[in-house]
Amino acid sequence: MTILHITNGLSEGGVETLLYFFSKYLIARGHSVSILVLKRNEISLKSKFENAGIDVIVGKYKSSYNVLNVFTIKKYLRKYDIVHIHLFPVQFYVGIANYLLGCNKRVLITTEHNTWNNRRQHDFYRYIDRWLYRQYDYIVGISNDTSIALKEWLNDENISNNITTINNGVELATQSIKNINIAEFNCIESDIILTMIARFNIQKDQETLIRALTYLPSNVHVIFVGSGETLEYNQNLTRSLGLESRIYFAGFRDDIPSILKISHIGILCSNWEGFGLSVVEYMLAGLPVVASNIPGVGNIVGWDELLYTPKDPVELANKILRIITDCSFYVKAQKYCIERAKDFSMEKMTTQYLSIYNRIRNVKLDTNG
């Protein structure tokens, strides 16, 4: 099959990580995979994808919200057996382009990556979203929480019948793990290292971890991996709290497995998520995790002892403190997380998506002759 994924950008992020490994698995099973990226100025991972045999098509415009993207999308919709959409506003413009083209044999699928978005604050958008999701043959939520939230928002039985759940598959990068010097991160051997891998934005809420650090012993350090619009704010907060020597802002890194190797606990502080990808990455690396108890994360972790109330730095600090002061609990949490990670396989996810691709494609071929 020829498969086209369409997304907003191709820079660091959970969706991009998912697309990279998913595309590699599809290619390994004999399928041809292309990715259309609407934002021409967000393609920092283009060469990485191309080196993996993934064809990358770059759009004409800087903004994914440029309405002219409809015509770029329309050009490519005709050329592929499967068109798979990720994120808004791509979902909206693909819906318009498909409507303009009319019915044909292409299979149109969208994956819902979050349990919440700004549109859901206003009932007016419910009617727009109902029209939008009717343009798709199938809608996949990346967790049960994501699917439930979308069904509740749309409140439309016909659309709900076309919504299913496929848990994200996760795979750590397969490059060899290098020994890195912890001194690079202003740490020494006796320090306890907490690592959080996430973009810097309001959703990810790095601020709560920074504030939690003020309640933890001085040998507890934090490594933040990622960049984004709230990076400067969090750097200023770190300075104002006098934590510069205990927090290291690593920026974007391509040696995540090596960083996780020197870490003791993986942290995720998100205020909302569709699927907490980094949580499973921590688990795969053999780390205990502490994460915010929100839809899309709490059900992945699955154990209240490792979850805290969002935006509560004191509770977060207490959860971390128990892990680092109780050796038997650390081992118990570590074993639990390693076992839990086995539920989120990229191989299993690929098989489930291919089943949907084939089933809907065969129905369309029969219907259209």
pLDDT digits (tens, 9 = 90+) for 295-344: 999 999 999 999 999 999 999 999 999 999 999 999 999 999 999 998 89
Q: Is the pLDDT of residue 292 over 80?
A: yes
What is the pLDDT, as a whole number, of residue 106?
Answer: 77
Would you say domain 182-343 falls under CATH 3.40.50.2000? yes
In the beta sheet, which residues pair with residue 86?
111
Q: Residue 101's pLDDT is what?
A: 86
pLDDT of residue 369: 58
For domain 2-169+345-368, which CATH number applies: 3.50.50.60, 1.10.150.120, 3.40.50.1460, 3.40.50.2000? 3.40.50.2000
Q: Which strands form 2-7's sheet, in the order they lie side by side? A: 55-61, 32-39, 2-7, 82-86, 107-112, 138-141, 163-165
Q: Where, residue-wise, is CATH 3.40.50.2000 in the chain? A: 2-169+345-368, 182-343
pLDDT tens per residue across span 243-267: 999 999 999 998 999 999 999 999 9
Residue 325 pLDDT: 97
Q: What is the pLDDT of residue 173?
A: 62
Q: What is the pTM of this model?
A: 0.81
Segment 49-57 shows an average pLDDT of 97
Local structure of residue 254 (DSSP, 8 states): S
pLDDT at 176: 62
Judge whether residue 366 has pLDDT over 90: no
The answer to whether the peptide bond before residue 89 is cis (omega within 30 degrees of 0) is: yes
The mean pLDDT value for 41-63 works out to 96
How confident is the model at residue 298, as a pLDDT? 95
What percent of the chain lies above the pLDDT cut of 90? 87
b/e map 328-351, b = 16+ CB within 10 Å: eebeebbebbeebbeebebeebbe
